[in-house]
Amino acid sequence: MSALDLDFMRKVANVPRGRGVLLCIQCGRCSGSCPIARLVTDHNPRRLMEMVILGLRSEVLLQGLPWYCLSCFTCLDRCPQGGDVGEVMFAIRNLAAKERNIPAGVVAQARSLIDTGRVVNPVKSILNKRKSLGLAEIAPTGVEDVKKILKRTALDRLIRSR
């Protein structure tokens, strides 16, 4: 086990969407509500909150743990503390992304977003089908604007460097 980061909880709390971790009382209702925790033991939102509270920074950010959550928000609606567990998960993933801990599927979606302005793009046969049906053209989207925005927020650098 690596060294504890005793400021870790506060760091997570100070990331946007992360505030709720300060309210966690470790009751476990989030884990009882979680569709993923039903299926695999690796994912357990209560335990992840505990790891943040204890300061297990590397264990939380550098491995797969942040990427099990579906963001279904069931835990968020059920947290008796209003601790917004599902929101805290986004804060944790934002920090993990800064450590370049990003699943390949997420990188692919982000690359598509930067290149085309969309995370899912139609294949050629669908484009032809749309044309034959007289449906609105898909391209061009606001791709130039998207590039400018993501350059400004440095998301493009985060993705390109991975």
In angstroms, what is the minimal distance from the CB of 26 to other proteins?
Answer: 21
Distance CA 115, CA 109 (A): 10
Phi and psi angles of residue 121, each rounded to the nearest 5 degrees, phi first: -120, 145
If residue 136 lies in a helix (H) or strand (E), which one and from where to where?
none
From 5-13, 23-31, 51-59, 120-128, give the range in contact with other proteins by CB under 8 A: 120-128
Which residue lies nearer to other proteins by CB, 4 or 77?
A: 77
- Distance CA(69)–CA(78), nearest Å, equals 16
Query: What's the CA gap between 131 and 108, in Å, rounded?
Result: 27
Q: Fill in the amino acid letter for 50.
A: E
Check residue 77 for interaction with other proteins (CB under 8 A).
Answer: yes
Check residue 38 for interaction with other proteins (CB under 8 A): yes
Distance (Å, rounded) from C-alpha 139 to C-alpha 114?
Answer: 14
Contacts with other proteins, residue ranges (CB under 8 A): 15-17, 35-36, 38-40, 66-68, 70-74, 76-77, 84, 86, 90, 93-94, 97, 102-103, 105-106, 108-110, 113, 117-123, 126, 129-130, 133, 135-136, 138, 140-143, 145-146, 148-150, 152-155, 158-159
